[in-house]
Amino acid sequence: MIHIAIDGPAGAGKSTIARALAAQIGFIYVDTGALYRTVGLFMLRAGVDPADAEAVVPRLNGVQIALTFSEGEQHVLLSGEDVSEAIRTPEVSMAASAVSAIPAVRAFLLSLQKELAAANNVIMDGRDIGTVILPDAQLKIFLTASPQARAQRRFAQLQEKGEAVSYDEVLRDIQKRDEQDMTRAAAPLKPAPDARLVDTSDCTLEESIARVRELVRDVLGY
């Protein structure tokens, strides 16, 4: 199987770029961040502080996550409910960052991610794909952009959805999540030693997709 690992900070465009690339080359796209968001959503709905490991861990057995794919598009089911849209709020983003720092949560989701990779040619994106989940991936990419560029993109997305947030709030959330992701003890956000760095701060979405597509063509021949 051919595996492409795309890591990077929040708002770097990993999901959008990976989804577009997967459609172009016929791979399965796996958004691992959606799995952590789903755990975070479950805990919020249960009234549990996502950062409280002692409260989170005993409830993991109640988290029933499944992934379905339709025309290359990933849908996330929580206890049979499609939560693909519900997990995309700023509150759930912060909850995802909190639960992802808990080793037991990472272990809980590890087997699901590895099973998907073992059975399919995949493009998988997240925070620790190249370092932990798919350390033998044939191509590893670390996709990044400045906090300001990432905040502006996320702010525009939230505005389109009618979310009442300010740019400054989004920037603070981005910076806070960066700190959480990079300093956590369990699988912190960092490039794999053999990852290719792609900075999209000054790129349009189309230019970013093209740069990653060129890498895939050069390294893998796809």
pLDDT at 71 > cutoff 80: no
pLDDT at 217 > cutoff 90: yes
Residue 185's pLDDT is 82
pLDDT at 72 > cutoff 70: no
Judge contact between 16 and 211, C-beta under 8 A: no
pLDDT band at 145 (very low <50, low <70, confident <90, very high): very high
- Span 177-198, mean pLDDT? 90
Which residues have C-beta within 8 Å of that of residue 14, sequence separation ≥ 6? 6, 7, 8, 33, 125, 126, 143
d(CA 135, CA 133): 6
Residue 214's pLDDT is 96
Question: Which stretches of the chain are assigned E, i.e. beta strand?
Answer: 3-7, 28-31, 65-70, 73-78, 81-82, 122-126, 139-144, 196-199
Residue-level length of the chain: 222
Counting residues of the chain whose pLDDT is more than 70, the rounded percentage is 99
Residue 164's pLDDT is 84
d(CA 74, CA 31): 8
- Span 42-65, mean pLDDT? 97
